[in-house]
Chains A and B, each alone.
Chain A
């Protein structure tokens, strides 16, 4: 489920929703379980407005499994698989077969077009993009993407879900990267180029965004939070989609991924995370 998948589970559980969480291995599920419990524990520290849920209550609301077939009983499905078209395509073909006919599929994708995702299913009107961002339970809004065939009814279903999560849906059209990542990845990528060119330190780059622009996080901190492997894959998707050189991935970013410095999740990225 990765970073974002665990974040989605935390938000759903906090709001009293039963969840089936699927990942490809027991190791990954165990890491997700630890992240989910940690996120639930610290939620009251990060926001006074969130409900408190004990680990005992949380365990009752979450079923973690490696069997994708177990989502058959779900009333809504949120897909968070890695930003790789071949993997996404196979997952959607299975979801389309397993999920009950009225169920909508929410693609929590970074950059891949919702219309393209919907094209591999027999329910394109019920496929909708929902770009949730970390930390999911602290965000008051979500970017919702209407694919070419997404129906008004599906938009209404997803809006109901987000009302339950106290989030405002900002509905936009569909092209790769949508609004958020098409712009934010240019920031993160160029910040990596600035660092590579020795113009400033990572701390200085982020400080300028926070202290001068008033952003809550700088572009390099944001990249560390998302995961540099995910950022790199998203840039590759954008480059492939638009064939525009502005999306070419910074070599430093790719080198850090090769070195295993993926950001917060590995304890080191552009910044160091002691815990």
Chain B
């Protein structure tokens, strides 16, 4: 997989979220936290997954809920962070 393979990254993240919270029909732009689908602690699980799965280091400045608020936001963050490198 390469970083600009946004679709693949998005699918991986969607799969992790669906597996973790077992919810049907989650929209890729749906705000996980504002909608009450998950509590804020899930952001830690999601961030840890992103780091381990994609081999990225999420720095202090990256630890912003905006980067992890939805499937699309998280996928965009991964692609941006990888900067076009294989992930």
B43→A210 contact, CB < 8 A: no
**Distance A152 CA – B45 CA, assembled complex (angstroms):** 42
A44→B48 contact, CB < 8 A: no
Interface residues of A, dominant DSSP: helix
A214→B36 contact, CB < 8 A: yes
A275→B49 contact, CB < 8 A: yes
B63→A221 contact, CB < 8 A: no
Contacts A46-B41, A275-B45 given; does A203 touch B22 at CB 8 Å: yes
**Distance A38 CA – B68 CA, assembled complex (angstroms):** 17
Question: B83 to chain A: closest CB distance in Å?
Answer: 21
Could you say which interface size class chain B belongs to? 20 to 34
Question: B25 to chain A: closest CB distance in Å?
Answer: 13
Contacts A44-B63, A45-B64, A214-B36 given; does A135 touch B48 at CB 8 Å: no
B41→A135 contact, CB < 8 A: yes
**Distance A216 CA – B68 CA, assembled complex (angstroms):** 18
B63→A216 contact, CB < 8 A: no
B47→A44 contact, CB < 8 A: no
Question: A227 to chain B: closest CB distance in Å?
Answer: 14
Which residues from 231 to 275 on chain A have a C-beta closer than 8 Å to any C-beta of chain B?
272-275
Which residues from 133 to 156 on chain A have a C-beta closer than 8 Å to any C-beta of chain B?
135, 138
B45→A42 contact, CB < 8 A: no
16 CB-based A-B contacts, threshold 8 Å: A41-B60, A41-B63, A42-B47, A44-B64, A45-B65, A46-B41, A46-B43, A52-B60, A203-B22, A211-B36, A216-B36, A217-B39, A225-B41, A272-B20, A274-B19, A274-B49
B residues touching A (Cβ–Cβ < 8 Å)? 16, 19-23, 36-37, 39-41, 43-45, 47-49, 52, 60, 63-65, 68
